[in-house]
Amino acid sequence: MNTVKIINEYDRIMEGLADDIKNSHYKVQYFLDLLHLKRGFFYKKLKEKRFTSEEMIVLSKSLYPKQYKDYEIEIIDKLLKISSQQIKEGQVGNFEVMLRETMEKYGL
């Protein structure tokens, strides 16, 4: 992974974000509601290209649904391969214990 290439690609995406929003199937109000932003602040962020990575992830689900779905599938596939390898290597644990620890960790 070339970090400089990723940064330049991100900059290119930010440059085209206003057009992507304009050309989407959604009205601006949809994105305002999605990000919980006021109209003026939204346009200021858009103009200054200051959306956070978290906001970009939220936007990407609606602006680039096919790419987002492909990414999800890629991540799930990668995680399944890792899990499969861990099982083969005997790196398994008791489900009930892991479930309880997870619930405690996330306050569920």
Residues 48 and 91 placed together within one structural domain of the fold: no
Residues 79 and 36 placed together within one structural domain of the fold: no
CB-CB contact of 45 with 51 (8 Å):
yes
Closest CA to 63 of 92, 35, 95, 98: 35
Residues 13 and 42 placed together within one structural domain of the fold: yes
Name the DSSP letter for residue 94: -
Least confident of 28-32, 35-39, 94-98: 94-98
Show the domain range for 35: 1-63
Residues 57 and 7 placed together within one structural domain of the fold: yes
Residues 73 and 98 placed together within one structural domain of the fold: yes
Residues 6+ apart with CB under 8 A from 67: 60
CB neighbourhood size of 59 (10 A):
19
| Number of separate domains in the chain | 2
Residue in the structure block whose two tokens are 């991540």: 75
Give pLDDT tens digits for 56-91: 999 999 999 999 999 999 999 999 999 999 999 988
